[in-house]
A = this chain, B = another copy of it.
Amino acid sequence: MPDTVSFLVDPLPVGATPEFLEASFREIEPGSGALAVNDLAPHRGDGVFETLAIVDGHVQEVEPHLARLANSAQLCELPEPNLDQWRLVITRAAERVPGQGEFALKLALSRGIDPGTTPTGWVHVTPGADFRAAREEGIRVVTLDRGVARGAGERAPWLLLGAKTLSYAANMAAIREAKRRGADDAVFTSSDGYVLEGPTSSVIARFGDDWVTPPPAAGILHGTTQRSIFAHLHAQGRTVEYRDLTVDDLRRADAAWLVSSVRMAAPIVELDGAPMPVDHAATAQLNAYLLGPRD
């Protein structure tokens, strides 16, 4: 059974006849030539994506990811994705990899061949990296200015700050900058000193019994893993809150994490070179929850 699989998807409009779904995508050899060089994904980073975890055969949080995909597509004025089609592709892709272990499933919807309005799509599944050290021992994080003021996304929707687009070059550069500074990952801050998000993660901080994350209105993605954790904590009777956090607030937290779909909850052990308290019990509990089957 392969541990890496790729599918090329011909995105269908909403309402397409169900019997067309199964023939609307096909498995391709991973690494093979699939996308045209004038597809607007490679050409312009002009498309949207989601990354989902597969844990022991179960694809985590399919519906929240698909809801965010649809929202990202709307913000980018892409055709509304046919979620029945994407559900089926996700199922077929997950069936093709081993039923034990962790995998990352990335799906993408591109604006398509330039010029034109016919989207293209794909799914690519790879084995999950070994994140045990990040989950158990934690990560060192540096804050990096994203250059924008808090709330810029609401004032300037063309910046697409709330959409998960394929234009991630600066996110990747921020992670390289963090590593150059001897850290493992970054937290973006607004130009006015507020905590935003990681380049590929959300920030959650605990202050006593309050669990806090910055609000999406700050100009960040609404994290699917953050939402899943908040729902879990809320069900346990904990206090969860969307609230603006300054970098100083984050420094004073009793514990903080970067959370994301595939790495799950990584406790921040060091922020800009200063140690942060680590809540090992809560971290273990969060990751046990996140690694269990979730819908």
Contacts and interface: CB of A to CB of B under 8 A. Distances in A.
A145 interface: yes
Nearest to A149: B191
A42 interface: yes
Contacts of A160: 169-170, 173
Contacts of A39: 35, 42
30 contacts: A6-B37, A6-B38, A28-B37, A30-B38, A32-B33, A33-B34, A33-B36, A34-B35, A35-B37, A38-B124, A38-B126, A41-B42, A43-B106, A44-B168, A44-B171, A45-B166, A45-B167, A45-B168, A45-B169, A46-B172, A47-B169, A77-B173, A145-B152, A147-B156, A152-B191, A157-B173, A158-B173, A160-B170, A167-B167, A167-B169
A124 B166 contact: no
A108 interface: yes
Contacts of A156: 144-147
Q: Which 9 A-B pairs have the closest CB atoms?
A: A45-B45, A167-B167, A41-B42, A147-B152, A147-B148, A167-B169, A37-B122, A45-B167, A165-B169
Given A173-B76, A173-B158, A32 B42 contact: no
Chain A interface residue bracket vs B: 35 or more
Copies of this chain, tallied across the complex: 2
A283 interface: no
A177 interface: yes
Given A148-B148, A160-B169, A170-B160, A38 B43 contact: no
Question: Which residue of A35, A122, A152, A157 has the most chain B CB atoms within 10 A of its CB atom?
Answer: A35
Interface string A124-158: 10100000000000000000111111001101111
A14 interface: no
B169 A44 contact: yes
A170 B170 contact: no
A8 interface: yes
Contacts of A157: 173, 177
